[in-house]
Amino acid sequence: MLDGDRVYLREKCAVCGKCTETCYAGALIAAGKQMTVDEVMEVVLRDRIFYDFSSGGVTLSGGDPVVQHDFSRAILERCKAEKLHTAIETSANCHWNDLAALLPVTDMIMMDIKHIDSGMHRRATGIFNDLILNNAGRLAKTGKPVIIRVPVVPTVNDTPEEIRALAQFVHSLMSVQYLELLPFHRLGESKYHALGLDYRATDLETPTKEKMSELAAQVKEIGIEVRVA
């Protein structure tokens, strides 16, 4: 209590979960839980009929499944044993060996590339993109089907010149199935507020359909199949 108000001191949180048990208003919740591989697979296999009907499968997303590559590998191995199609979504900002460990049991890779210019990439994300682009090149040489996904963010990478430069890089890669443009949205804003973080995109708006079509045209001119989400 501070001056009669309940104050949450995040820096003292030990992630024990006891506060969620005693919060009488139900305002605090645990937004996740630990699971074993067996527990995950029990959930996955509930939908087998849908996989069989749609020829779909299981995609590990996140976060980034490469961060927990041993756990991800175990799940993917079990999926392949059940003859399920497997895919991962990754930023590829990781050690190559960690990503490569997943490839033998992964049928398709969906990978983000946010900007070609390393300086711009760092200003937007906090890191340079050298490792990401290098891993993209190594991925393409494996022969695994790769889908490149580009979140289009106003003031970050939404000019025709920026998308064209990115498309030219993608054109140099082998085994890329297509490039997908994903318009920026603000669905994550509430999570930032819940975590007490500054949401820097408050003033940004979702690109219009006309804007997305203009950018897609740049990709088509390079000779790459493009899709707009």
* Domain stops at, among 90, 106, 122: 106
Give the chain's domain count: 2
* Domain stops at, among 47, 71, 106: 106
Rounded Cα gap, residues 128 and 118, in angstroms: 5
Question: Are 75 and 37 contacting, i.e. CB atoms less than 8 angstroms apart?
Answer: yes
- In the numeric block, which tokens belong to residue 172? 């140099």
Model confidence, pTM? 0.86
DSSP string of 102-118?
TGGG-SEEEEE---SSH
- Answer yes or no: do 226 and 115 share one domain: yes
Domain that holds residue 91: 35-106
Q: What is the dihedral sign for C-alpha 58, 60, 66, 67?
A: negative
CA quadruple 208, 113, 33, 41: dihedral, nearest 10: 110
- Answer yes or no: do 136 and 171 share one domain: yes
* Domain stops at, among 89, 106, 123: 106
Per-residue pLDDT of the chain (229 residues; tens, 9 = 90+): 788 887 778 888 888 888 888 888 877 787 778 899 999 999 999 999 999 899 899 999 988 999 999 999 999 999 999 999 999 999 999 999 999 999 999 999 999 999 999 999 999 999 999 999 999 999 999 999 999 999 999 999 999 999 999 999 999 998 899 999 999 999 989 888 877 789 989 999 999 999 999 999 999 999 999 999 9
CA quadruple 119, 122, 65, 15: dihedral, nearest 10: 170
Query: Where residue 73 sits, what CATH number does that domain have?
Result: 3.80.30.10
- Answer yes or no: do 86 and 120 share one domain: no
- Answer yes or no: do 145 and 98 share one domain: no
As separate numbers, helices (DSSP H) first and strands (DSSP E) second, the chain gives 10, 6
